[in-house]
């Protein structure tokens, strides 16, 4: 459903700024689960990024979110 909205917005001329969810400490979402995007969706986002329809550091944020989760799971 999210992908459909993204494509609809792009067709209307919008540029999408993509982010990866990062559960930060001291927020209501601090214990929220991290869900990795499936491979197909990642490939679609990469394709849209290469065509300049989507920008943002979502790939770096995905790595960071995993590191943050591991850090807080330890303590």
Q: What is the predicted pLDDT for the residue at 21? A: 86
Look up residue 75 and give its two tokens.
Answer: 């303590």
Q: Note if the pTM is more than 0.75.
A: no
- 8 A C-beta contact, residue 54 and residue 6: yes
In which band, very low, low, confident or very high, does the pLDDT at 75 lie, cut at 50, 70 and 90? low
């Amino acid at each position: 459903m999210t992908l459909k909205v993204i494509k609809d917005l792009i067709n209307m001329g919008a540029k999408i700024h993509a982010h990866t969810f990062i559960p930060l400490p001291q927020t209501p979402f601090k214990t929220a689960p991290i869900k990795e995007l499936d491979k197909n969706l990642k490939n679609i986002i990469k394709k849209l990024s290469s065509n300049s329809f989507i920008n943002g550091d979502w790939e770096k944020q995905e790595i960071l979110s995993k590191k943050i989760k591991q850090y807080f799971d330890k303590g």
